[in-house]
A and B are shown apart, each in its own frame.
Chain A
């Protein structure tokens, strides 16, 4: 089965601190992986994506993610968090059977001043 796990339900960081959000996937072949961000009551905005090639991918808003096949992980990072980064973050996997995205349970990021 193809699935995504986000182990952290809620993370709080101080403004200016670094951030890492964890994502693990289950898929036999090379996965297509995405990170989306959602502000309250809003739609989802794509931060970055991984298809193949370079395992470190850069996205918008200063985010990056590293694909590690050996750990089945695709963790999202940001060197210095801003208050405006407070939101819900979803890791997603393209499910080749349904030909649609399957989402992890999400991680809520809170930023302290």
Chain B
């Protein structure tokens, strides 16, 4: 199983709503990532989790709150978002750890298309 599963696939939320994006992998990967992708742009790194601990926060606004409940799950909690936060949110995982090159290959989910109204 080389799949990263993201739910929901589409989400429309108001600026006062609270919602969560979910990501799951069963490859035994110890690194998980959230990327944000605007239209016609490359994915931009938001957060990195390594061994269930937040290791990188790319100066993301606090209205985005990541959570890693266990080694297979990654959530992104959303609150008081702005219309400019509308984007495709991609989750990825890799083997992680301090090992060699083989630990760096990232597997991506299909993304959640988020629209903030």
Contact = CB atoms under 8 A, between A and B. Distances in A.
B88 to A, nearest CB: 7
A72 interface: no
A43 interface: yes
Tell me which of B55, B90, B104 has the highest count of chain A C-beta atoms within 10 A of its own C-beta.
B104
Contact of A43 (B48, B56, B109): B109
A100 B45 contact: yes
B110 A42 contact: yes
Contact of B42 (A32, A94, A99, A106): A106
A32 B110 contact: no
Interface residues of B, number: 30
Contacts of B88: 41
Interface string A63-103: 00000000000000000000000000010001000111111
Question: Does more than half of chain A's interface fall in helix, strand or loop, or is it mixed?
Answer: strand
Contact of B56 (A36, A94, A100, A104): A100
Classify chain A: how many residues form its interface, as a range: 20 to 34
Tell me which of A49, A101, A103 has the highest count of chain B C-beta atoms within 10 A of its own C-beta.
A101
Nearest to B58: A98
A63 to B, nearest CB: 16
Interface string A45-65: 110010110000000000000
B45 A102 contact: yes
B101 A100 contact: no
A9 to B, nearest CB: 9
A17 interface: no
A42 B55 contact: no
B35 to A, nearest CB: 8
16 contacts: A34-B105, A34-B106, A36-B108, A41-B113, A43-B111, A44-B90, A44-B92, A45-B108, A49-B105, A90-B42, A94-B104, A99-B31, A99-B55, A100-B48, A101-B92, A106-B42
